[in-house]
C-alpha cells in the first residue's frame, strides 16, 4: 500500500466523515485496489462514502415494504451472491428481534422449544455464511439437510451453487417443481415473519430495520471482502 492510500485510509478511519471515506475509496478505485463493481454494490446499499466516491446522490431511505422489495429485487438481479448475504443478515436481524420480543412472554415449559428453534436458525445461518466465504460441497450438503422443510434458503443456495457444484445440479434436477421461489422470494418474506411475530411496531419500522441490517452487511463485505460474482 502506498503512502497516499495509507494516509487517506487513516484519515477516513479517524474522522468517519463521508467525504474522507469517499477520497479513500476513490483512491482505492484509481489504483485498482477496489474493483468498480464492488464500489457500485456498496453504493446501491446506500453507503455514503461509496456514493460520494462515484459522484452520485445516496438512494432514498428504505422505509416501507414496497421500497424494501424493490431494493432486494434489484440486488438479486445484479448481485445474487450479495443478495444471499443480505437475506442472511436480515434473518439474523429477525432472529435477534424475535428473541428479544419473545423472551419475557414465553412460558418456562415452552422456552426450551423456542430456544431450540432459534439455535437451529442460528446454526443454519452460520453454515450459509461459511459456505459463502468458502464454497464446498460438504457445507452445501449440510445446508440442504438442515434447512427446514419449506424454507427457501436451502434452494437459494443450491441455485447459486449450480454452476460450480455437481451436488447442487443433481439435487435441483430431482426436485419435483422448478425453484420458483428463487425469483419470487424477497426480503419481504422476512418482513412478513417480523409482522407475524410482532417484533416491531409497524411494517415501516420493520422495513427500515431489515434494510439497515442487510444493506450494512452487504456494503461492509463489498468494500472489504471478496468481489461479488
User: What is the residue range of 33's domain?
Assistant: 3-53
Q: How far apart, in whole angstroms, are the C-alpha atoms of residue 176 and residue 170?
A: 12
Could you read off the pLDDT tens digit of each residue along the chain, which spans 229 residues? 588 899 999 999 999 899 999 999 999 999 999 999 999 999 999 999 999 999 999 888 888 888 888 898 899 889 988 999 999 998 898 888 876 655 444 444 444 444 677 888 899 999 999 999 999 999 999 999 988 776 778 888 888 899 899 999 998 888 766 555 554 555 666 666 666 566 777 888 888 999 999 999 999 999 985 444 4
Is there a single domain that holds both residue 39 and residue 92? Answer: no
Count of the separate structural domains present in the chain: 2
Instruction: Say if residue 71 is in the same domain as residue 181.
Output: yes
Asked if residue 60 belongs to a domain, the reply is no
Q: Are both 39 and 137 inside the same structural domain?
A: no
Query: Helix and strand tally (H, E) in the chain?
Result: 13, 0
Same domain? 213 vs 179: yes
Other beta carbons within 10 angstroms of residue 198's beta carbon come to 12
Nearest to 218 by CA among 20, 47, 97, 53: 47
The answer to whether position 90 is within a domain reads yes
Asked if 165 and 95 sit in the same domain, the reply is yes
**Whether residue 134 is found in the same domain as residue 206:** yes
For the record, the C-alpha cell of 121 comes out as: 436458525
> Per the domain annotation, does 229 fall within a domain?
no
Q: Are residues 47 and 74 in the same domain?
A: no
Amino acid at each position: 500500500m502506498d503512502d497516499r492510500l495509507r494516509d487517506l485510509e487513516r484519515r477516513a478511519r479517524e474522522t468517519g466523515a463521508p467525504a474522507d471515506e469517499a477520497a479513500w475509496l476513490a483512491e482505492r478505485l484509481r489504483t485498482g485496489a477496489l474493483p468498480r463493481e464492488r464500489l457500485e454494490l456498496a453504493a446501491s446499499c446506500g453507503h455514503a462514502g461509496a456514493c460520494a466516491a462515484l459522484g452520485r446522490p445516496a438512494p432514498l431511505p428504505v422505509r416501507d415494504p414496497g421500497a424494501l422489495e424493490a431494493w432486494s429485487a434489484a440486488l438479486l438481479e445484479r448481485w445474487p451472491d450479495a443478495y444471499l448475504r443480505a437475506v442472511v443478515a436480515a434473518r439474523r436481524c429477525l432472529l435477534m428481534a424475535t428473541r428479544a420480543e419473545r423472551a419475557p412472554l414465553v412460558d418456562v415449559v415452552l422456552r426450551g422449544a423456542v430456544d431450540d428453534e432459534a439455535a437451529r436458525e442460528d446454526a443454519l445461518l452460520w453454515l450459509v455464511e461459511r459456505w459463502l466465504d468458502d464454497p464446498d460441497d460438504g457445507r452445501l450438503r449440510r445446508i440442504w439437510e438442515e434447512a427446514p422443510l419449506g424454507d427457501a434458503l436451502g434452494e437459494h443456495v443450491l441455485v447459486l451453487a449450480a454452476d460450480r457444484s455437481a451436488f447442487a445440479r443433481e439435487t435441483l434436477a430431482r426436485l419435483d417443481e422448478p425453484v420458483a421461489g428463487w425469483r419470487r422470494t424477497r426480503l419481504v418474506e422476512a418482513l412478513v415473519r417480523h409482522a407475524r411475530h410482532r417484533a416491531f411496531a409497524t411494517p415501516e419500522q420493520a422495513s427500515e430495520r431489515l434494510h439497515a441490517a442487510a444493506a450494512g452487511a452487504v456494503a461492509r463485505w463489498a468494500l472489504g471482502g471478496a468481489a461479488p460474482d
